[in-house]
Amino acid sequence: MIRTDLIQLIEQFNPNILAVEAIFFFKNAKTAMSVAQARGVILETAAACGLPVAEYTPMQVKLQITGFGKADKRLVQEMIASLLDLPQIIKPDDASDALAIAACHVRHNYLPSNSLEQVNLIPQQASCAV
């Protein structure tokens, strides 16, 4: 289901890169296994679609979004809502996390030079090997 949904999203929105959170530590082995399995499907799907992947640790995301690498989840959510000029934080938490990773990627790769011209705003048609 993850692969099918991701292929549909890639074909619909034609991104030029996929940004994901790097897995580095989990307290709960059961959670770690589920996340790792889902992440494997996501990485395989990106590869099948010829889509490069950028990985960011939670600390990198927090640093790019809040300026503090050990910020709590609530502060990151508030900053994402502020960056997107939204009246409240985004729910569910996973959606806010995904936007934080995307914003981290943009800030990390395109804002240091103060130029968004590097971003390919005209996506090419995605073609995924099914």
Instruction: Band the pLDDT of 128: cuts 50, 70, 90.
Output: confident
Q: Name the residue among 98, 90, 104, 24 with its Cα closest to residue 62.
A: 104
- What local confidence, expressed as pLDDT, does residue 56 receive? 94
| Mean pLDDT score of the chain | 85
* Dist. CA 97–CA 106, nearest whole Å: 14
Whether omega before 87 lies within 30 degrees of 0, making that bond cis, reads no
Percent of the chain with pLDDT over 70: 83
Give the C-alpha distances (Å, rounded to integers) separating 35 from 7, 17, 79, 81, 125: 19, 21, 25, 25, 29
Q: Which of the two residues, 82 and 124, has the higher pLDDT score?
A: 82
Q: Write down the pTM of the prediction.
A: 0.80
| H helices present in the chain, as ranges | 2-13, 29-48, 58-66, 73-83, 93-109
Instruction: Band the pLDDT of 125: cuts 50, 70, 90.
Output: low
Q: How confident is the model over 48-102, as pLDDT tens digits?
A: 999 999 999 999 999 999 999 999 999 999 999 999 999 999 999 999 999 999 9
